[in-house]
Amino acid sequence: MSVSVSAAPAVSPAPPAPRLTRRSPYPGWFFTPAAIVYSVLFLAPTFASLYFSLTRWTLFDSEFIGFENFAQFFREPFLIKGLINTVIYAVVTSGLKVVLGLLLAVMLTSQIVARGYLRSVVFFPVLVSTVGVGITFTVLMHPTQGMINETLAMFGIAGPGWLTDPNLALYSVALVDVWKGVGLATVIYIAGLVVIPRDYYEAARIDGATPWQNFWYVTLPLCRPATSTVITLSFIGGLRTFDLIWAMTKGGPGFASDTIASVIYKQYQAGFYGLSTAGNVVLFILIALLVVPLTMILNRKQGHE
């Protein structure tokens, strides 16, 4: 593949700057190392996969079949469910991360006791690997021997089959995802909150604002950049999510917690490489369709501030 030029424009000499007689102090070749690695190892294979998505591919040889894979992918009986699940998962996880992350961040930037402890504790799950988290929570969420249901049983509550009830499995995994990822969202929010000038709160206090008004009219609008970062990162992450679902339910029970990424992976596993690559393209288009407008909305609102 020879697509490596696509990111190379930066290598071209800087346009002559008439005001200055010397070369730009911000040389384009600074892009080169990153551009080479990125183009060769990411962009080139991605473009190659566009071709393979149009073939019936056994890894050993490929036969060009046009858009047949895409037609087949949309005929997948579980694709619609997978599509819906993917969007639910992304919305639930990014929504909860925004709400809980902001809540925790407001708490952790206030004069609360044990701030250091809380900050560390909330960030801790970020450090554990997805496979480790998956194993741990699969054990904790076991319907009869798991700690969660055994604890509930002590209070006389019959706990549900967190991962075995088809109606619940996706949400259980989403909750674990939030558990694992809320620390990062909190840190981003803390960073967004500490730069809000104290004057605003001072002014609000003089106007007699309640803590709630403070939050609603000062904090929330002024940390919108942080919100936009958290939403964008966790929403894209949620749409692409794979490893946690795979570690915990493998898309099951049955197809109940399948997302597009797990459907794609199953096609890949089954040896339908062309089909799976076509699914990748579909996933990319879905992400682009949802994320690009979202980014534009988030950025436009920012402009009004």
Partner 1 sequence: MMKTKTLALLGASTLGMLMTASAVQAQQSGYLTILVDNGPQSIATMEAWADAYTAENPDVTIDIEVRPGGGEGDNIVKTRLATGAMADVFSYNSGSLFQAINPTQNLMPLTDEPFQDSVQDSFKSVVSADGEVYGAPFAPAMGGGILYNIPIYEELGLEVPKTWDEFMANNEAIKQAGKVPVIQTYADTWTSQLFVLSDFFNVLAEEPDFAEKFTANEAKFATTPAALRGFEKLEEVAEADYFNADFGAASYADGVRMVATGEGAHYPMLTFAIGAIAETTPDHLDHVGFFAQPGDSAESNGLTTWMPDSLYVPKNAASPELAKDFVAFVASPEGCAVRNEAVGATGPYMVAGCELPDDVPPAVSDMMPYFQEGGQNAPALEFLSPVKGPALEQILVEVGTGSRSAEDAAALYDEDVRKQAQQLGLEGW
Partner 2 sequence: MTRRASILGGAAAIATTFVVFVIPFIFIVLMAFKDRQQSALRDFSWPTGFHLWENVAEVVKTRNWMMITAFINSTIITVVSVTLLVIFAAMVGYVLARRKTRWNGLIEFLILAGLMVPPAVVPTIWLLQGLKLFGTLHGMILIEVAYNLPFSIILYRAFVATIPRDLDEAAIIDGARPLDVFFRIVLPLLWPVTVTNIVVQSVGIFNDFTNPLYYLPGNANATVQLTLYNFQSQFSTAYNLLFTNILLITIPPLLVFLFFNRQIVAGMTAGAVKG
The residue ranges that bind partner 1 (CB under 8 A) are: 56, 58-60, 63, 72, 77-78, 138, 142-146, 161, 163-166, 250-256, 266, 268-272, 275
Q: How far apart are CA 169 and CA 175, in angstroms?
A: 10
Q: What is the nearest approach in angstroms of partner 1 to the Cβ of residue 260?
A: 16
Cβ proximity to partner 2: between 179 and 217 the closer is 179
Smallest separation, CB 103 to partner 1 (Å): 32
159 binds, among partner 2, partner 1, none (CB under 5 to 8 A by kind): none
Q: In angstroms, what is the minimal distance from the CB of 171 to partner 1?
A: 16
Q: What is the largest CA-CA distance in the chain?
A: 81
- Which residues are bridge partners to 164 per DSSP? none
Q: Dig out the tokens for 261 from the structure.
A: 């990424």
Closer to partner 2 by CB, 65 or 191: give it. 191
Closest contact distance (angstroms) between CB of 170 and partner 2 is 20
CB of 284 to partner 2, least distance (A): 5
Q: Which is nearer to partner 1, 221 or 253 (CB)?
A: 253
Q: Which is nearer to partner 1, 39 or 257 (CB)?
A: 257
Torsions phi, psi for 63 (to 5 deg): -120, 130
Closest CA to 106 of 218, 234, 233: 218
Got the DSSP string for 171-226?
A: HHHHHHHHHHHHHHHHHHHHHHHHTS-HHHHHHHHHTT--HHHIIIIIIHHHTHHH
Residue 264 contacts which entry, partner 1, partner 2, none (Cβ below 5-8 A, type-dependent): partner 2
- Answer with the entry of partner 1, partner 2, none that 34 interacts with (C-beta below 5 to 8 A by kind): partner 2
Distance CA 303, CA 296 (A): 10
Cα 111 to Cα 205: distance, rounded to the nearest angstrom: 16
Nearer to partner 1, 197 or 271 (CB): 271
